């Protein structure tokens, strides 16, 4: 009886250990990088995979250059083909993590995405990649997917890429509450810092010479 008890106890301990290891790494990284609570109250349940044309597969919390992330990525998450989703990518650190006076800066917003088919969604803001100022240090970028209750009518007009006013101070909580979205079902976070592509992007979007 004693030996049987010990075996059962060991199996329980091993089972608990596996359960902890199976928690998505993205949840832990978001807490470590203070995405919780700077952006979200609760982390997403699963990882949102992002793959860029440069060949970069985003690894949670890692640092990438604006040059590597200049084009819209392909996304993958555990989507239901019959459901609709909202995709949001933003930076809570504009213009820097120490002075985020434009929190949050919207980099991408697509609504009414059927399943995984982002191309068939309704873009409210086209994608543009990280553009951290030269002296800003590392900035965080958060990509999130929310499941919608169905196909929705969004009141927001499509934002012009060249409109800094449209993209600064995006209120994520207000937007998701307005359309009755629960916590994000998938997400990812990465970091980026200035490289030589940033002046090119600033000139293209805002006609500013950095």
pTM score of the predicted model: 0.88
CA neighbor of 176 nearest in space, from 82, 90, 73: 90
Q: Are 92 and 142 in contact (CB under 8 A)?
A: yes
Q: Are 115 and 80 in contact (CB under 8 A)?
A: yes
Q: Which are the contacts of 144, defined by CB distance < 8 A and separation ≥ 6?
A: 40, 44, 48, 87, 88, 89, 172, 184, 186, 187
Q: What's the CA gap between 21 and 2, in Å, rounded?
A: 29
Give the number of other Cβ atoms within 10 Å of residue 89's Cβ: 27
For residue 55, the 8-state DSSP code is S
pLDDT by residue for the chain (210 residues), tens digit each? 455 444 444 444 444 443 444 567 999 999 999 999 999 999 999 999 999 999 999 999 999 999 999 999 999 999 999 999 999 999 999 999 999 999 999 999 999 999 999 999 999 999 999 999 999 999 999 999 999 999 999 999 999 999 999 999 999 999 999 999 999 999 999 999 999 999 999 999 988 776
Which uninterrupted H or E stretch holds 51?
Answer: strand 49-51
Q: What's the CA gap between 11 and 35, in Å, rounded?
A: 35
């Amino acid at each position: 009886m004693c030996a049987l008890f010990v075996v059962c106890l060991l199996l329980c301990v091993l089972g608990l250990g596996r359960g902890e290891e199976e928690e998505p790494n993205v949840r832990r990284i978001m807490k470590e990088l203070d995405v919780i609570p700077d952006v979200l109250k609760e982390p997403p349940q699963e990882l949102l995979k992002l793959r860029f044309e440069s060949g970069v597969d985003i690894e949670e919390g890692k640092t990438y250059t604006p040059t590597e992330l200049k084009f819209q990525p392909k996304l993958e998450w555990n989507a239901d083909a019959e459901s609709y989703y909202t995709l949001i990518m933003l930076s809570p650190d504009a213009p820097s993590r120490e002075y985020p006076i434009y929190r949050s800066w919207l980099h991408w917003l697509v609504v009414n995405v059927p399943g995984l088919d982002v191309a068939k969604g309704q873009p409210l803001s086209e994608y543009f990649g990280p553009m951290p100022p030269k002296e800003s240090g590392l900035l965080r970028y958060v990509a999130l997917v929310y499941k919608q209750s169905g196909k929705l009518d969004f009141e927001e007009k499509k934002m012009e890429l060249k409109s800094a006013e449209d993209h600064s101070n995006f209120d994520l909580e207000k937007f998701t509450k307005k359309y009755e979205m629960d916590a994000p079902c998938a997400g990812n976070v990465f970091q980026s810092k200035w490289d030589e592509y940033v002046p090119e992007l600033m000139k293209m979007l805002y006609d500013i010479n950095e």
